[in-house]
């Protein structure tokens, strides 16, 4: 795999992961009661715990995208 293919791969990873992040965030922000009811069927938790868990997971996923997709993509673009 050459550098151009790797850059294209990371670029598409960024786009797909940001799409997933926006989709997840939209569900949690726009339909909080529905997502809570759906999740609480599987796991026993309060609504406050649900909010904290999703807030932390969305933040962690955002950092994951930044550190493992965006930074390497821009580093490859700067070098080559």
Residue-wise pLDDT tens digits, 12-23: 999 999 999 999
pTM > 0.85? yes
Q: What is the mean pLDDT of residues 15-35?
A: 96
pLDDT at residue 67 greater than cutoff 90: yes
Q: Quick one: three-class SS letters along 14-78?
A: HHHHHHHHHHHHHHHHHCHHHHHHHHHHHCCCCHHHHHHHHHHHHHHHHHHHHHHHHHHHHHHHH
Counting the structural domains of the chain, the total is: 1
Q: What is the mean pLDDT of residues 51-67?
A: 97
Residues in the chain: 80
> Domain limits at 29?
3-79
Mean pLDDT of the chain: 95
What confidence tens digit (pLDDT) does each residue in 1-11 have?
799 999 999 99
Output DSSP code: residue 80.
Answer: -
Other beta carbons within 10 Å of 63: 10
In which band, very low, low, confident or very high, does the pLDDT at 42 lie, cut at 50, 70 and 90? very high
Closest CA to 33 of 56, 20, 51, 59: 51
């Amino acid at each position: 795999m050459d550098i151009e293919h790797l850059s294209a791969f990371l670029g598409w990873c960024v786009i797909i992961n940001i799409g997933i992040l926006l989709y997840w965030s939209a569900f949690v922000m726009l339909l909080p009661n529905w997502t809570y009811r759906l999740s609480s069927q599987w796991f026993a938790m309060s609504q406050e715990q649900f909010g904290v868990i999703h807030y932390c997971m969305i933040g962690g996923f955002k950092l994951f995208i930044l550190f493992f997709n965006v930074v390497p993509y821009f580093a490859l673009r700067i070098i080559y």
